[in-house]
């Protein structure tokens, strides 16, 4: 693995998203937590477009952004990322540590900014605590980022469709918080930025400090998975192997 090819973009992503989050948080604080123009508009639209079926679907989707589901998905990401049992035993707890640390840090920021949620009479689901940044949006985005990183690392067939599906899930979880009336849109946006910044730091740190034997290797372009060659040497290499299988090539 070329560690610099991972550390540099991860660091750039972390720096850019942390700066954007800091700007958004400063705007929220300077406005004393009051909703911004976009916040009011999207909440008003959500309140006016709530058929029972849509509310039920939103409640179901929003529950997947907290509790045990994100940790199960992060464990799956670790199993996908590792090629060996040793790598998987490292990747799974590292992913859980990243998610747990992100939730704890997000809670600390939420307590520091102490932004009030939208009015309770607009709520369509239970919520508690302060509003910025959204916990569901942060957790789902961080989980999705770890899954997408694992899928890109292993490069399975159809990974683009899987990555899009995972990203849509995370975006949907965040948007349900606005639709159900328990968060302002800037809370959700803050959660997405917070998760992206933490993900960049985590990936960069893993690429820099994790011992080489524990780092999963992405397949190089044009090469096959190690298991593809487990059945025996390829015919193109047969002329160099005195014990090759098959008949000898005529001189």
Tell me the per-residue pLDDT of 40-63, one tens digit each, with 9 for 90 and over.
Answer: 999 999 999 999 999 999 999 999
DSSP 117: P
The alpha carbon of residue 81 and the mean position of all alpha carbons in its chain are separated, in whole angstroms, by: 13
CA–CA distance, 64 with 169 (Å, rounded to integer): 9
CA–CA distance, 177 with 58 (Å, rounded to integer): 8
Q: Which of 28, 35, 54, 34 lies closest to 180 in space, CA to CA? A: 54
Q: What is the pTM of this model?
A: 0.81
Please report how many Cα atoms fall inside a 13 Å half-sphere around the Cα of residue 66, on the Cβ side: 15
Residue 236's pLDDT band, with cuts at 50, 70 and 90, is very low
CA dihedral 129, 130, 132, 137 (to 10 degrees): 20
- Residues above pLDDT 70, as percent of the chain: 80
Query: Taking residues 148-171, what's their average pLDDT?
Result: 87
Tokens of 56: 């039920």
CA–CA distance, 64 with 196 (Å, rounded to integer): 19
Q: What is the mean pLDDT of the chain?
A: 84
- Residue 211 contacts by C-beta under 8 Å, 6 or more apart in sequence? none
Tokens of 161: 């469709």
DSSP 210-244: S-GGGSPPPPPTT---GGGGTT---GGGGGG-TT-
Note the helical H segments in the chain: 3-30, 37-48, 52-63, 68-81, 85-113, 135-154, 159-179, 185-209
What would the pLDDT profile of 213-230 be if each residue is shown by its tens digit?
545 555 544 444 444 443
Of residues 242 and 197, more confidently modeled: 197
């Amino acid at each position: 693995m070329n560690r610099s090819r991972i550390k540099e973009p991860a660091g750039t992503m972390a720096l850019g998203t942390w700066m954007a989050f800091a700007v958004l948080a400063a705007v929220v604080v300077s406005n004393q937590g009051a909703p911004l123009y976009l916040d009011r508009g999207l909440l008003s639209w959500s309140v006016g477009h709530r058929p029972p079926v849509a509310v039920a679907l939103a409640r179901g989707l929003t529950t997947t952004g907290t509790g045990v589901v994100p940790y199960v998905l992060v464990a799956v990401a670790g199993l996908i990322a590792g090629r060996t049992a040793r790598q998987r035993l490292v990747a799974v707890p590292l992913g859980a540590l990243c998610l747990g640390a992100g939730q704890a840090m997000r809670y600390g920021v939420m307590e520091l900014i102490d932004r009030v949620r939208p009015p309770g009479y607009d709520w369509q689901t239970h919520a508690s605590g302060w509003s910025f940044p959204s916990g569901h949006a942060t957790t789902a985005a961080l989980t999705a980022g770890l899954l997408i990183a694992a899928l890109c690392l292993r490069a399975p067939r159809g990974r683009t469709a899987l990555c899009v599906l995972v990203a849509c899930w995370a975006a949907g979880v965040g948007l349900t918080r606005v639709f159900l009336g328990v968060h302002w849109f800037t809370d959700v946006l803050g959660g997405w930025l917070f998760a992206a910044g933490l993900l960049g730091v985590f990936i960069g740190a893993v690429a820099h400090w994790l011992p080489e034997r524990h780092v999963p290797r992405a397949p190089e372009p044009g090469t096959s998975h190690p298991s593809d060659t487990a059945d025996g040497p390829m015919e193109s290499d047969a002329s160099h192997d005195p014990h090759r299988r098959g008949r000898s090539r005529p001189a």
